[in-house]
Amino acid sequence: MQNRNEPKKLRLEAMNYSMLQQCMHCGMCLPTCPTYMETKRERNSPRGRIAWMRAIADGDAELDKDFADEIYDCLGCLACVSACPADVDYATLFEAARVDVEEQDVAGPGQRVFWRWLAVKTIFMHPRLLRLVGRSLYLYQASGLQALIRRSGLLRLLPKRLADLEPQTPKIRAEFSHQLIKQTEAPEHSRYCVGLMTGCVQDLAFSDINRDTADVLLHNDCSVVCPGVQPCCGSLHAHNGELELAKKLARQQIDLFKPETLDAIITNAGGCGSHLKTYGHLLANDPEYAERAQEWDRKLKDIHEWLVEIDFTPPLINEGSKNASQIITYHESCHLCHGQKIRSQPRKILDAIPGLQRVELKESDWCCGSAGIYNITRPETSAKLLDRKLGHIEATGSTTIATSNPGCHLQIQNGLKKAGKTATIRHPISLLAEAYR
């Protein structure tokens, strides 16, 4: 039995060593890594970080604050995974390293301890509390108080970090997903029965996208099961070193949706979906949930993936759409294209919508700088990535940008607003839902 005073064994030491050896140091990942391309420093690259992890596992390097800072400088965008010819499982290494950082408490004291407790360990562990926070924020915005405080100059009294974050606050919807979608909805003729996940930020700020997703599923002969109170998927926790909390949330999701009763479980958020498809790995050693988690992974489908798989019904061409020519471009969520390997399906859906002229976006799969909470924890690097993305968007001449992740949506939307641009951000499924209507 381990002495309470002894430090926990590092996950980097306990994991299969072959995972750390798999990197061939070929350098194929380097030009795809945003942090390496910014600094050109080896330590800021995927292979540099893996070499550091291996040195820690070998006992040749200390797991210290320098390593903690480096592993949190990583966006976790997984572009290196797409580029790697050796199929290195960087996502697992990355998450294990962050768990070690948190369990060994080497990231350092300060405000991060409080904010992690408040957000990761409290608010995002309790969906009703999250909705209460969302409702309070909605009242703050809808009452005009937010606009008044912004005009008053009171924000200048806040610490600079908080004052810079305030303009990024998402606009909260008047109605959340459970107020827009019944727990069970069915079309006249049903071929499939699917569960619909409503997410966290998606539920509060983009509940209309969830309603659109339900409508599209119904139009394609899918009965929809949508539990009214859904926990967080756990991606925030897994990506920030709280693996046990991520496991707890995974068990709650499995119990809530009962994957064995459904043909598919649908998510419309790229970042969430990438994590949701790893429940089998996450709970592999759980005797009660391991088998059900494998079933969950088999049933979990991104909405674009599912629609193409079932051969979705293309929208009808009407007189109005014949002459329409809305120029649109598509920004790929990192975890949708690199994590889930879903690239062609959103494009196929967009190309099926009458009246849209899609222009390919340069570096469409390059991170926009949102990366979960990276735009909060590393605002300077995030801003540089956003500027790069906005430059490519402007070059397309598009009036609409399609993307399928709430973090990307908010990041690009805030960037456009700050730059005084009028282009709009839409989810491909919302555009499809409109075309059906």
Residue 233: inside a domain: yes
Same domain, 121 and 235: no
Q: Which of 118, 126, 59, 72 is nearest to 99 (CA)?
A: 72
Same domain, 275 and 207: yes
Identify the domain containing residue 41 by its residue range: 11-103
Taking the CB of residue 250, how many other CB atoms lie within 10 A of it? 26
Would you say residue 164 has pLDDT above 80? no
Q: Which of 295, 275, 266, 386 is nearest to 338 (CA)?
A: 275
Query: In CATH, what number is assigned to the domain containing residue 190?
Result: 1.20.1050
Phi, psi (deg, nearest 5) at residue 302 = -65, 145
Residue 280: inside a domain: yes
Lowest-pLDDT range of 127-131, 152-156, 416-420: 152-156
CA–CA distance, 257 with 252 (Å, rounded to integer): 9
Residue 5: inside a domain: no
Q: Which amino acid is at 34?
A: P
Residue 175: inside a domain: no
Same domain, 286 and 222: yes
Residue 272: inside a domain: yes
Same domain, 45 and 124: no
Average pLDDT over residues 94-100: 93
Same domain, 94 and 160: no
* End position of a domain, from candidates 256, 287, 309: 309
Average pLDDT over residues 274-295: 96
Query: In CATH, what number is assigned to the domain containing residue 414?
Result: 3.40.50
Residues above pLDDT 70, as percent of the chain: 96
Residue 222: inside a domain: yes
- Could you tell me how many residues make up the chain? 437
pTM for this entry: 0.92
Would you say residue 326 has pLDDT above 60? yes
The per-residue pLDDT for 1 is 43
Same domain, 281 and 368: no
Torsion of CA 210, 212, 218, 224, to 10 degrees: 10
Would you say residue 130 has pLDDT above 70? yes
Taking the CB of residue 223, how many other CB atoms lie within 10 A of it? 17
Residues above pLDDT 90, as percent of the chain: 79
Same domain, 80 and 138: no
Domain count for the chain: 4
Same domain, 217 and 151: no
Would you say residue 3 has pLDDT above 70? no
Please provide the average confidence, as pLDDT, over all residues in the chain.
92
Residue 340: inside a domain: yes
Q: Which amino acid is at 362?
A: K
The per-residue pLDDT for 7 is 59
Query: In CATH, what number is assigned to the domain containing residue 28?
Result: 1.10.1060.10
Q: Which of 21, 108, 36, 39 is nearest to 67 (CA)?
A: 108
Average pLDDT over residues 223-241: 94
Same domain, 326 and 389: yes
Say if residues 101 and 241 touch (Cβ distance below 8 Å): yes
Tens digits of per-residue pLDDT, 55-72?
999 999 999 999 999 999
Would you say residue 336 has pLDDT above 90? yes
Residue 174: inside a domain: no
Torsion of CA 85, 28, 70, 101, to 10 degrees: 10
The two structure tokens encoding residue 429: 């499924």
* End position of a domain, from candidates 309, 341, 360: 309
Torsion of CA 133, 339, 332, 378, to 10 degrees: 50
Same domain, 85 and 140: no
Q: Which of 174, 121, 115, 113 is nearest to 143 (CA)?
A: 174
Average pLDDT over residues 166-184: 93
* End position of a domain, from candidates 309, 331, 363: 309
Average pLDDT over residues 209-213: 98
Q: Residue 224 belongs to what H/E stretch?
A: strand 222-225
Taking the CB of residue 383, how many other CB atoms lie within 10 A of it? 16
Same domain, 134 and 204: no
Same domain, 95 and 117: no
